[in-house]
Amino acid sequence: MIEATLCFPLRDGETGADPATDADLATDDETGREVLLIEKRRGLGEGWYNGPGGKCEPGETPRECAIRETREEVGLEVRDLEKAGELRFLLDGEAHTFCHVYRTRSFEGEPTASEEAAPEWVPVDDVPYDRMWDDDRLWLPGVLEGKTVAGEFRFEGGTPLDEADFVDHEMAWDASLEGDQDEKRSY
């Protein structure tokens, strides 16, 4: 089974105004929180939106993997990752991928496109679920609200996973996730 990660950096929305020149307008135009998504340019889920992330390398913890993949894919240095989910993806009845999901409000740098990914800040209320994995609409809204989730998602129809049909799932919210010692923050 593949062990993989996803990381969702969050920030307060851009105002569309220059706060240095128009502080009042900046407050009025508050657009809400945004999440950094990528349009994946290669590999599993190519052409779809997702968080930065990827497969864990030997000897690497999932948290280290999420930090490395976010750096490699979009050039952002993420810190203080909070564990938000553990998702098990099954293909034709067999365990395929175990995915550790993180979120963070702490990062440095400007998202930059790479060969693997084109980054985009997207309002949390406007996530393009129709251009993502079918399971994402079930768990990502809660994760972006600050909940934790444990879930199992079953796909059928042969490899690769991103061409198989999503058939059913089980999910538990407010799940206590193994190995997460991080302090909870409010999102």
Ligand X SMILES: Nc1[nH]c(=O)nc2c1ncn2[C@H]1C[C@H](O)[C@@H](COP(=O)(O)OP(=O)(O)OP(=O)(O)O)O1
The site for ligand X (CB under 6 A) is made up of 4-6, 43-45, 50, 53-55, 89, 97, 99, 133, 135-136, 153, 161
CB of 179 to ligand X, least distance (A): 18
107 vs 143, which CB is nearer to ligand X?
A: 143
89 vs 107, which CB is nearer to ligand X?
A: 89
CB atoms within 10 A of CB 168: 10
CB of 34 to ligand X, least distance (A): 18
- Rounded-to-integer distance, Cα 141 and Cα 149, Å: 11
> Tokens 């994402």 correspond to what residue?
136
* Sequence-ordered strand ranges (E) for 41-147: 49-50, 53-55, 77-79, 82-91, 94-104, 106-108, 117-123
The alpha carbon of 152 is separated from its chain's Cα centroid by a whole number of angstroms, namely: 17
- Rounded-to-integer distance, Cα 99 and Cα 96, Å: 10
CB of 166 to ligand X, least distance (A): 8
97 vs 104, which CB is nearer to ligand X?
A: 97
One-letter amino acid at 74 equals: V
> Tokens 């098990």 correspond to what residue?
88
69 vs 82, which CB is nearer to ligand X?
A: 69
CB of 114 to ligand X, least distance (A): 11
Which whole-number Å values give the CA distances from 161 to 46, 48, 116, 118, 156, in the listed order? 12, 13, 18, 22, 8
107 vs 133, which CB is nearer to ligand X?
A: 133
CB of 49 to ligand X, least distance (A): 9
